[in-house]
Amino acid sequence: MITAAAAAAGAAAAGPAYASTGGASGKERAVTEHAVKEHFGTLADGTKVDRWTIENGRTRLSVLSYGGVVQTLEIPDRHGHRANVSLGFADLDAYVASSPYFGALIGRYGNRIARGTFTLDGKAYQLPVNDGPNSLHGGDKGFDKRVWTVEPFRKGPDVGLTLRRVSPDGEMGYPGALTVRVDYTLTAAGDFRIDYEATTDKATVVNLTNHTYYNLAGEGSGSIYDHRLQIAASRYTPVDKTLIPTGELAKVAGTPFDFRRAKEIGRDIREAHQQVLYGQGIDHNFALDKGLTRRPEHIVTVTEPESGRVMKIATTEPGVQFYTGNFLTGTFAGTSGQVYRQGDGFCLETQHFPDSPNQPSFPSTVLRPGDTYRSTTVHSFSTR
Ligand code: GLA
């Protein structure tokens, strides 16, 4: 826990930088005024990975320099008891061995690009194919598997972490050197805000998101099917059997995809709808009614009835991938040692639509030199 006193003591002892303390685990530990940095593990090539922890309002967040991973996100229930609501692992090796993108920063392109290929300004590009015939989440070594530089900041009442990385020209087949900055902010109210920014030196495509799996009853506590979810989307993008959008914007009315009024996530998930069969549950992009906006607008409310925890999401993005943890198959033990099974977490990945580089009718994901890619998503927490 970062108390003001501990932080001040750390800062004073450290002078301008960090105070190294033994740390409870005997691991290397450093404290700034607003953040705690701990050694989390070492990659096979010798690169050290840190875990940063920040706290504001009633929210505590820990982030790994590996993959920009949201490792834990602790928020209170209606009695003020905090629980970690983000699925993940306790150690670095588990993240490296095989993580289904737990908590990860996704880039350069969130979700799928058909057959890993697209054409931009008349030139064809080939990306690594890592999901059946398609390229998923930036290829086999996307942003989720890179080490980011992390710096803590304070802006008025907000505290946060800035993650930076330059993705070299041609990385994972994408054109242009992409300079990326992502701010993870905790506001004084305990809201979790993510601001993405990117610039390029050649025309390219970009679609950044965060892949946190939530369980508002607490990570490792079982199924999320009882959570009540509302999504402000009248349409979604149906997919083929490889989960590539067909290009159609189908109405949610009369389908399991109708979350315009709050309903339990599990209510229609066993309906034999062709799209549910393709996704093995819900794994679909919802076309938000508000569309692409300059400022984040409210799109989602999720409520967990037992704990009373409520998460609201606002975003600038035109879409959100709602994924019901269909590929969690009991093969991972999570942060608290419990095994994750299908439906034990859900993702709401704010984004441009999947396969946009091949779908001229979808909002464009092209970024050109001189322009700045910007995207913001805010998660607000309350109880009822
Ligand atoms: C996204 C995809 C899913 C799945 C998960 C990660 O949500 O749409 O199909 O790949 O990421 O397992």
Map out the domains of the chain as residue ranges: 34-383
Query: C-alpha dihedral over 153, 371, 108, 294, to 10 degrees?
Result: 70
Does residue 321 line the site of ligand 1, with CB under 6 A? Answer: yes
Does residue 374 line the site of ligand 1, with CB under 6 A? Answer: no
Say if strands 283-287 and 263-264 run parallel, antiparallel, or are unpaired. Answer: unpaired
Residue 111 is assigned to a ligand binding site: yes
pTM: 0.93
Report residue 146 as tokens. 């890179």
Does residue 180 line the site of ligand 1, with CB under 6 A? Answer: no
Residue 228 is assigned to a ligand binding site: no
Q: How far is the CA of 285 from the centre of ligand 1 (A)?
A: 11
* Cα 55 from Cα 34, distance rounded (Å): 8
**Beta-carbon count within 10 A of 80 CB:** 8
Residue owning the nearest CA to atom 11 of ligand 1: 111
Q: How far is the CA of 344 from the centre of ligand 1 (A)?
A: 14
As averages over each run of 10 residues, the pLDDT of the chain (384 residues) reads: 40 36 55 87 98 96 98 98 98 97 98 98 98 98 98 96 98 98 97 98 98 98 98 98 98 98 98 98 98 98 98 99 97 97 98 98 98 98 97
> In this structure, which topology does domain 34-383 adopt according to CATH?
Beta-galactosidase; Chain A, domain 5 (2.70.98)
Residue owning the nearest CA to atom 7 of ligand 1: 323
Q: How far is the CA of 200 from the centre of ligand 1 (A)?
A: 26
pLDDT value of residue 356: 98
Pocket test for ligand 1, best of 109, 130, 131, 136 (most atoms within 8 A of CB): 136
* Cα 153 from Cα 194, distance rounded (Å): 14
* Cα 86 from Cα 216, distance rounded (Å): 8
DSSP state of 147: B
* Cα 366 from Cα 105, distance rounded (Å): 19
Residue 326 is assigned to a ligand binding site: no
201 contacts: CB under 8 Å, gap ≥ 6: 169, 176, 177, 369
Backbone conformation region of residue 36, classed left if phi is above 0, alpha if psi is from -120 to 50, else beta: beta
pLDDT value of residue 29: 76
pLDDT value of residue 361: 98
Q: What is the b/e burial string over 221-252, where b = at least 16 CB atoms within 10 angstroms of the residue's CB?
A: bebbebbbbbbbbbbbbbbeeebbbeeebbeb
pLDDT value of residue 3: 44
Does residue 173 line the site of ligand 1, with CB under 6 A? Answer: no
Does residue 101 line the site of ligand 1, with CB under 6 A? Answer: yes
pLDDT value of residue 34: 78
pLDDT value of residue 358: 98
